[in-house]
Amino acid sequence: MAKDIGIDLGTANVLINIQGEGIVLNEPSVVAVNSKSNKVLAVGSEAYQMVGRTPGSIRAIRPLKDGVIADFDITEQMLSYFIKKLNVKGFMSKPNIMICCPTNTTDVEHKAIRQVAEKIGGGQVYLELEPKVSAVGAGLDIFKPFGNMVIDIGGGTSDIAFLSLGDIVASRSLKIAGDRLNMDILNFVKKKYNLQIGERTAEKVKIEIGTVVPGHRNEEIDVRGRDTISGLPRTITLKSDDVEPTLNETMMNVVEAAKDVLGVIPPELAADIIDHGIMMTGGGALLDGMDQLLMDNLNIPVNISDTPLDDVAVGTGILLEKILGSENQKR
């Protein structure tokens, strides 16, 4: 008997949750390909090590962009590799698969995601909206007649959703998230210091010294890159306050989107949020000062999930069990 599989197909990472075993895989959504033969050379962590370091004949591809599949074939190969690595298919049977997608994905994109799941050997394929799944994974009971608000900041998208009675009442999805912050840092360093740095370096800066609130953090980091004028390697020291303005400016877009969602929900549900607060999840929940930024601008308590990086994958397992349980009851 094949075990059911929940997949968090993220722009930055793929997480796989197997029924009864929990999260068994968490690897970067990167595939290294030989550009001459189109042969896949490495997938996941091994391929991520190659980002920004490959010779001309090898490309490190991220097949998902802004939360959607940008390269269908590479995504399929990446997922096939991960599923084979886990060896989860039972003899002669196909596992049920649940995959998540952001709230603003189109029907065409839904179809592409579904086809990928079917091609890698899925039986029944279920698609579910990411903020709903992450809310469940973060421990919110979204099935009661009660308002829950979740802000899920991932690698490619930030999803803001208001949920009640198991469904989304109002939502916004922005293509502004972790990847955009990395690019902000990269562009800031290039503009201010004439220093070209790589995406991985920018991500390291974001994690180690980044903040969205002035004076909230006081760290520094040495950053190495290529001088854009001389072309030679050079090192600079960056402080938290150096990168704060650019990160703050970008994340204010998420704050404004949260205001938009709060502006369209029924008053009774809005009152629930004042009592319970907003749940923050996804990798962006770990960005220093992000909860403070939301609280300062929305005047509502903000809670950070205990396991923000795992919530979507955990939620797929809970929801899949719930769906299959109710289907079995109907039979």
**283 assigned ligand-binding residue:** yes
Q: Is the dihedral of CA 202, 155, 321, 163 positive or negative?
A: positive
What is the band of 36 on the pLDDT scale with cuts at 50, 70, 90? confident
**246 assigned ligand-binding residue:** no
**138 assigned ligand-binding residue:** no
Q: What is the pTM of this model?
A: 0.91
pLDDT for position 250: 97
Secondary structure letter of residue 48 according to DSSP: H
State the average pLDDT for the chain: 91
Beta bridge pairs of residue 221? 238
pLDDT tens for residues 261-311?
A: 999 999 988 899 988 899 999 999 999 999 999 999 999 999 999 999 999
**10 assigned ligand-binding residue:** no
What contacts 211, CB < 8 A, 6 or more positions away?
Answer: 217, 240, 243, 244, 247, 287, 288, 289
**190 assigned ligand-binding residue:** no
**201 assigned ligand-binding residue:** no
pLDDT for position 88: 62
**70 assigned ligand-binding residue:** no
**277 assigned ligand-binding residue:** no
**157 assigned ligand-binding residue:** yes
What torsion, rounded to 10 degrees, do the Cα atoms 84, 89, 93, 97 define? -90
Q: Is the CB of residue 59 less than 8 Å from the CB of residue 74?
A: no
pLDDT tens for residues 68-90?
A: 788 888 988 998 888 888 876 55
Structural domains for the chain: 5-27+70-132+311-330 (3.30.420.40), 140-304 (3.30.420.40)
Q: Is the CB of residue 80 less than 8 Å from the CB of residue 118?
A: no
Which token pair is 189? 């360093």
pLDDT for position 53: 78
**210 assigned ligand-binding residue:** no
d(C-alpha 182, C-alpha 176), whole Å: 11
**294 assigned ligand-binding residue:** no
Q: At what angle do helices 130-137 and 311-330 cross, to 10 degrees?
A: 100
How many CB atoms within 10 Å of residue 233?
Answer: 10
Which token pair is 279? 């749940």
**204 assigned ligand-binding residue:** yes
Which token pair is 47? 């391929």
